[in-house]
Amino acid sequence: MKTNKFQLTLFAIIFTFISCSKDDDPAPEVVNEEEVITTLEVTLTSGSSTIIMKTQDLDGDGPNPPVVTVSGNLTSGIVYDGAIKVLNELETPAEDITEEVEEESDEHQFFFTPGGGLDVTTEYSNFDSTGNNLGTQFKLTTGSASSGRLTFTLRHEPTKPNSGLVDAGGETDVEATFNITID
Amino acid sequence: MFRFFLIVITLLNFLNSHSQNCNNEFSGRVIDLHDGRVLIGAIIFIEGLNEQIITDSNGAFSISNLCNKSYVFEISHPQCKTKIETIRVSENINRTLRLEHHIEELNEIIVYGSSYIEKSKTLTENIISSEVLEKSIGSPLGDILANLSGVSSFKTGNSVVKPVINGLHSSRVVIINNGVRMEDQEWGEEHSPNIDVNSLDKITLIKGAGALQYSGNAIGGVIIAETSNFQIKDSLYGKILIKGETNGRGLTTTSNLIRTKSNGLYSSVQFTFKRFGDFESPNYLLSNSGAKEQNASFRLGLNRFKYGLELYYSIFNNELGILRSSHVHSSLDQIRSINSEIPLKINDFSYKINPPKQDLNHQIFRLKGFNRFELLGKLSFQYDYQQNNRLEFDIRIGDDKYKPSIDLELKTHSIKVDLDSQLSNLLNIKSGVTGRYQNNFPDPETGVRRIIPDYNKYDLGIYSILDFQINDMFLLELGGRFDYSSMSVSKYYRTSFWRSRNYQDLFSDLIINEISSQTLIKTKLIFKNYSTTFGSRYNLDDNHSINFNYSIASRMPNPSELFSEGLHHSSARIELGDLRFNSEVGQKIVFNYIFQNKNINLSVNPYLNLINDFILIEPTQIQSSLRGVFQVWEYRQTNAQILGLDIDASLVLNKNFYLNNQFSILKGRDLLRNEPLISMPPVNLNNEIVYQNQKTNNVIFSLKSEYVFRQNEYPDNNFELFVPLSQTTETVDVSSPPNAYHLFNFNSSLDIITNKNYSFSLSFSIRNLFNKEYRNYLNRLRYYAHDLGRSFIFGANYKF
């Protein structure tokens, strides 16, 4: 009889415990992805001429493709100063991820890959703390009139120094391709 | 044993017997349930009369002077499980009483009911004994189970190992750990069971859904992990096991200490520590593949003949490194990794576990008890609480570097009441009801959108199983179960995804709010699932028996199948679930032919599993984002069929030598698309030769060959990708299975000292004897690295 009483008490305790659980939970808080890169903006300047190439993907890994714009054509035989900005525009104000990339310069590097007949050469203008290439600043020299693709790749933890994407390794943080024409 | 009976007799002395004019006689035989052999020296104790009768050399007994009423008989035999039977006596009766022959589990009846003794009476059961478990300490559960025919392991690297039963895994395999149904986020392909294998004494595998007392949704099968029961005597004993391995330069130790008393009180404590550094494939190091584990469990209880009570607590802590080079950010990284013969990142050996890694914690608190009622049967009660914390770390930058990307906390409360009644000598009925409340909390502090949403889930399950021993040869089993589940979910969808799926038309009423390109919805999903099992066992003679089982199991879709919506780094793919899924319903037909004699043991086990609305994931398109190009994998429902055959055989060659053989083959098909199912285990064949000599310190040597064929049936999920560097379009081959491989393992052990008070034994093994380089189709990281190379394993085992 003693056991029965004990068991009954147990049942009572547990049912009370379970019935305490609440059903009407408050809405969970929204998560704005912190290190998502929504936007890559490349500014090419030469004297008074400025060309902006921009790719923006506001839904991140969602189904919408990035929106790519190039403000104009390049001119042949000119050296442009290039600056790359990566942003997270899901946060307000937009978070400038370039700062993080530059802070952890040893662990990052931009790569520039021309293709499809585009006649350009590139050169790094800024470097990490050990003097290896970083590439948020670069120089782009246009050759003859041509058109093709230019791909910007940001690698995290690449092998440094390297001779380019071929032996850089690391993981891809950003990969953006622009269709460009040189007049 | 003798002490135990003294207790029983003392207990029963309190009950008074009535004397009246009684002339009935009860006679019969006591036989072994399994093979029908007569049991000599079985004791039949008559409750109320305080009288005991012992069976003669024919197993026969006769009890006279019984009145016209119901008597409770306790039938026991030194090598069998004690059985209680209530028999109504109204005239002279003759009955055959059956006992289950099992030396190792002598006292099991005291704590557990018959469902624990035989989990399913008509389904194939495979058991991993404590000796095998002691030899495999340090190995993941999935790897230990893969020693059984029909079981393979689904891996992510070498530490994350999931058991696959007849081709199915994750939510389709239910794991019962010490009577508690594990709720450890088992839906994930890269989520290994949160169980300390080293704390277990026995693992039973049921290849089917027949074990309805636990669950109705085990479309693949059930794994029952248990610790053994304690003897009722004054004793203090324990063990210490240590094992060192060269591959991974790791050490595992496990120890336990058990105190038992003759009044039925007992307590035990158990600890496990495990530490491994980077493992090695035959020719290179697998950087960041180490593992760290710290577990403990405690038990306190009272074993009495009529009632029992037990408290149990266990804590499991596991930190698992994921191969560094498997963390790819885009399909472009993936193609680089796949094309590279060796991983792209190989560092020096280290014990340190860096991201990507998993940090897991699982705690179980359980209280259970039982009481035997004379007419009703055995009534058991259990309450358990589980808390699972899962942290997954990706490679992140900036302030988020040390923050997990996934932080899930799953809390589950369950209560269970079971009644095991013996309606007659031949008919047994077991019924029960289970209630469960579960809460999932994904911590938003991660700064990464939740992979699994916040939810509250309520389950109610009711079951009943009937077994009917028609005669000495023929047993029928029939069971049914109903499960009701209600799940309240709050989830933020990406508005772009919500619209692309056209959910805004289908589920517009679910929307609560829209915040910065995300849509918050609240929904309540209800699933009603029915499961049944029907089986029979027919013993043709002493050597042959045939089992048949037909079962229907229903499984509600798991949170990942319903709500996935985002990028998975370990596979560089976007995974999308579907809110509209309904339960999948599997029908499994299993035959088992068993032949046993002195020298041969053979089990032939063909099966057919037909699953309606089977949920699978497959690639559907390519999607680009700023991170690069990704393959999109979407869950879809189809009808599936798995047809397979498992064969187990052993042959005793002479006094010291024997052979073991296992063979498994299965074919899985998507019936709607008429194509093979993905990730089905390839055909495999294992052969082992064992030398054992009990006279010379029980020395054992064995050599095992494992041949795994190439999986030739697989869906083609390859896709094309433009590579800017080479300005070419390349095919990303994510489908082609690796080649067949043949591995050899050597095992040996020796008992150094064995006496009444303590024993000490040593073991030595070599895994992958010839350091063979291979890749396993069921390893998600097979694209990035080879599997494990040779390992020398040293073990010591001290029991006192």
pLDDT at B112: 24
Residues B224-272: tens digit of each pLDDT? 998 887 877 888 999 999 999 999 999 999 999 999 998 889 999 999 9
How high does pLDDT run on average in chain A? 85
If you average pLDDT over residues B12-17, what whole number do you get? 38
Residues B427-442: tens digit of each pLDDT? 889 999 999 999 999 9
Both structure tokens of B212 = 């309805």
Tell me: pLDDT of B777 over 50.
Answer: yes
B307 interaction partners in chain A (CB closer than 8 Å) = 3
Residues B384-411: tens digit of each pLDDT? 999 999 999 988 877 788 899 899 999 9
pLDDT at A182: 94
Whole-angstrom distance, CA of residue B253 vs CA of residue B764? 16
For chain A, where are the E strands, in sequence order? 39-46, 49-56, 67-70, 79-88, 95-96, 108-115, 120-124, 137-142, 146-156, 171-182
Interface test with B, best of A19, A42, A108, A172 (most B CBs within 10 A): A172
Contact at CB, A153 and B371, closer than 8 angstroms: no
B629 interaction partners in chain A (CB closer than 8 Å) = 175
From the list B333, B446, B626, the residue facing A37 with the nearest CB is B626
Look up residue B673 and give its amino acid: R
Interface test with B, best of A61, A88, A111, A160 (most B CBs within 10 A): A61
Q: What is the 3-state secondary structure (H, E, C) of B695-757?
A: CCCCEEEEEEEEEECCCCCCCCCCEEEEECCCCEEEEECCCCCCCCEEEEEEEEEEEEEECCC
B516 interaction partners in chain A (CB closer than 8 Å) = 30, 32, 90, 92
Residues B75-89: tens digit of each pLDDT? 887 667 677 777 778
Contact between B616 and B678 under an 8 Å Cβ cutoff? The reply is: yes
The CATH number linked to A152 is 2.60.40
Distances (CA, A) of B594 to B117, B147, B652, B720: 20, 19, 16, 50
Give the percent of chain B with pLDDT over 70: 92
Both structure tokens of B437 = 């409340």
Whole-angstrom distance, CA of residue B495 vs CA of residue B503? 10
Selection from A102, A59, A181 nearest residue B516 by Cα = A59
CA A127 to chain centre: 19
Both structure tokens of B502 = 């056209």
CA B304 to chain centre: 29
**Backbone phi, psi, residue A22, to 5°:** -90, 150
B415 interaction partners in chain A (CB closer than 8 Å) = 14-15, 18
pLDDT at B469: 83
Whole-angstrom distance, CA of residue B447 vs CA of residue A35? 8
Interface test with A, best of B347, B378, B396, B626 (most A CBs within 10 A): B626
In a domain, A10, yes or no: no
Contact at CB, A29 and B444, closer than 8 angstroms: yes
Torsion angle of the four alpha carbons B506, B508, B511, B514, in this order, in degrees rounded to the nearest 10: 110
Interface test with B, best of A8, A19, A31, A33 (most B CBs within 10 A): A31
pLDDT at B94: 81
Ordered alpha helix ranges (H), B171-246? none
Tell me: pLDDT of B17 over 50.
Answer: no
Whole-angstrom distance, CA of residue B588 vs CA of residue B712? 24
pLDDT at B443: 93
Whole-angstrom distance, CA of residue B485 vs CA of residue B11? 43
Please report which confidence band the pLDDT of residue B659 belongs to, taking 50, 70 and 90 as the band edges. Answer: very high
Give B357's strand partners. B321, B393
User: How many A-B residue pairs are in contact by the CB < 8 A criterion?
Assistant: 169
If you average pLDDT over residues A62-74, what whole number do you get? 91
User: How close A49 gets to chain B, by Cα (Å)?
Assistant: 27
Distances (CA, A) of B322 to B81, B128, B272, B287: 46, 28, 22, 8
User: How close B750 gets to chain A, by Cα (Å)?
Assistant: 48
User: How close B415 gets to chain A, by Cα (Å)?
Assistant: 8
User: How close B483 gets to chain A, by Cα (Å)?
Assistant: 19
- Angle, CA A144 vertex, CA A141 and CA A146 arms, to 5°: 100
Selection from B224, B240, B155 nearest residue B190 by Cα = B155
Contacts of residue B277, defined as CB under 8 A and 6 or more positions apart, other chains included, come to B248, B249, B250, B290, B349, B350, B351
Residues A71-118: tens digit of each pLDDT? 999 999 999 999 999 998 888 888 899 998 999 899 999 999 998 889
Q: What is the extent of the structural domain holding A72?
A: 36-182
In a domain, A1, yes or no: no
Contact at CB, A171 and B623, closer than 8 angstroms: no
- What interface predicted TM-score (ipTM) does this complex get? 0.79
pLDDT at B122: 65
In a domain, A112, yes or no: yes
Contact at CB, A30 and B515, closer than 8 angstroms: yes
Tell me: pLDDT of B46 over 60.
Answer: yes
B567 interaction partners in chain A (CB closer than 8 Å) = 61
In a domain, A5, yes or no: no
B630 interaction partners in chain A (CB closer than 8 Å) = 61
B398 interaction partners in chain A (CB closer than 8 Å) = 35, 97, 100, 103-104
Selection from B657, B659, B648, B716 nearest residue B684 by Cα = B648
Whole-angstrom distance, CA of residue B796 vs CA of residue B223? 28
How many structural domains are present in chain A? 1
Please report which confidence band the pLDDT of residue B72 belongs to, taking 50, 70 and 90 as the band edges. Answer: confident
Contact between B605 and B123 under an 8 Å Cβ cutoff? The reply is: no
- Classify residue B2 as exposed, middle or buried by CB count within 10 Å of its CB (0-12, 13-18, 19+): exposed
Q: Give the residue with greater pLDDT, A62 vs B644.
A: B644
Whole-angstrom distance, CA of residue B372 vs CA of residue B202? 26
pLDDT at B92: 81
Ranking B177-181, B498-502, B563-567 by mean pLDDT, the lowest is: B563-567
From the list A7, A34, A39, the residue facing B400 with the nearest CB is A34
Tell me: pLDDT of B761 over 80.
Answer: yes
If you average pLDDT over residues B459-483, what whole number do you get? 90
| pTM, full prediction | 0.84
User: 3-state DSSP call for residue A106?
Assistant: helix
Whole-angstrom distance, CA of residue A120 vs CA of residue A70? 16
pLDDT at B209: 65
Residues B704-736: tens digit of each pLDDT? 999 999 999 999 988 888 888 788 888 888 899
Selection from A63, A132, A159 nearest residue B344 by Cα = A159
pLDDT at B788: 95
In a domain, A93, yes or no: yes
How high does pLDDT run on average in chain B? 87
Q: Give the residue with greater pLDDT, B570 vs A123.
A: A123
pLDDT at B120: 61
Selection from A64, A30, A22, A63 nearest residue B491 by Cα = A30
Residues B116-145: tens digit of each pLDDT? 334 566 666 777 878 788 888 878 888 888
Selection from B43, B16, B27 nearest residue B89 by Cα = B27
CA B394 to chain centre: 29
In a domain, A152, yes or no: yes
Tell me: pLDDT of B281 over 90.
Answer: yes
Both structure tokens of B487 = 């799940």
User: How close A162 gets to chain B, by Cα (Å)?
Assistant: 14
If you average pLDDT over residues B642-665, what whole number do you get? 92
Please report which confidence band the pLDDT of residue A64 belongs to, taking 50, 70 and 90 as the band edges. Answer: confident
Distances (CA, A) of B265 to A16, B47, B229, B498: 29, 24, 12, 58
User: How close A88 gets to chain B, by Cα (Å)?
Assistant: 11
Contacts of residue B710, defined as CB under 8 A and 6 or more positions apart, other chains included, come to B682, B737, B738, B739, B740, B777
Both structure tokens of B245 = 């391995």
Burial A67-93 (b: 16+ CB within 10 A, else e): eeebeeebeeeeebebbbbbbbebeee
In a domain, A26, yes or no: no
Q: Pairing state of beta strands B24-32 and B93-99?
A: parallel
